[in-house]
Amino acid sequence: MQELLTQLITGFGLPAWLSFFLWAVVLYGMVAVVGQVAVVFMVLMERKVLAWLTQRKGPNRVGPWGTLQTVADGVKLLFKESIVGPGQDWFLFTMGPVIFFAPSFVLYALIPFTDRLVGITMPLGLLFVFALSSLSVVGIVLSGWASNNKYSML
């Protein structure tokens, strides 16, 4: 498949390295899409099981059989108002979740998808995983500190 993409790219007179880059984007994009779809259905199944346990009908209002419930939750989250209290550092409070999630996205670069498609090849990859995994705590502490709440740092 990558050879076909390379022939197609070089046929248009573009450099061959562009096909490798596009192939990497396609593979990493496919992993991201499969992950997102899996999360949507896992949330739906969790809600269905919890509804069954509490003897309710479950999410059945949005879409067929409640399949668009996660999309509706995402739209609701996008339109929620962000309240900034007095004395709160807005920039640091907003950057806290970014710092929390960024290391987990960088760790995808260590996953070898094929024998030639590896984001980062490093001899100390396990040490890199441990170092990046510990950075998520910084985002949590930063959000708590920026909220200017005396109970958030307990």
For residues 52-67, give the mean pLDDT: 83
Residues 68-79, mean pLDDT to the nearest whole number: 87
Prediction pTM value: 0.58
Q: How confident is the model at residue 13 (pLDDT cuts 50, 70, 90)?
A: confident
Answer whether residue 111 shows pLDDT above 80.
Answer: no
Residue 6 has pLDDT above 80, yes or no: no
DSSP 8-state class, residue 92: H
Chain CA centroid to CA 81, Å: 22
Confidence of residue 38 (pLDDT cuts 50, 70, 90): very high
Instruction: Provide the pLDDT confidence category of residue 33 given band limits of 50, 70 and 90.
Output: very high
Domain ranges across the chain:
82-154
Sorted by sequence, the CB contacts under 8 Å of residue 152 that are 6+ apart come out as: 143, 144, 145
Confidence at 53, pLDDT banded by 50, 70, 90: very high
Residue 154 CA: distances (Å) to CA of 122, 145, 150: 38, 11, 8
> Residue 118 gets which letter from DSSP?
B
Residue 154 has pLDDT above 80, yes or no: no
Give the orientation angle of helix 90-106 with respect to helix 125-134, to 10 degrees.
Answer: 160
Question: Higher-confidence residue: 62 or 121?
Answer: 62
Token duo for residue 135: 């950075």
DSSP annotation of 63? S
Distance CA 8, CA 39 (A): 34
Least confident among 115-119, 137-141, 146-150: 115-119
Name the region of 126 (left: φ>0; alpha: ψ -120 to 50; beta: rest): alpha
Q: Is 28 exposed, middle or buried (0-12, 13-18, 19+ CB in 10 A)?
A: middle
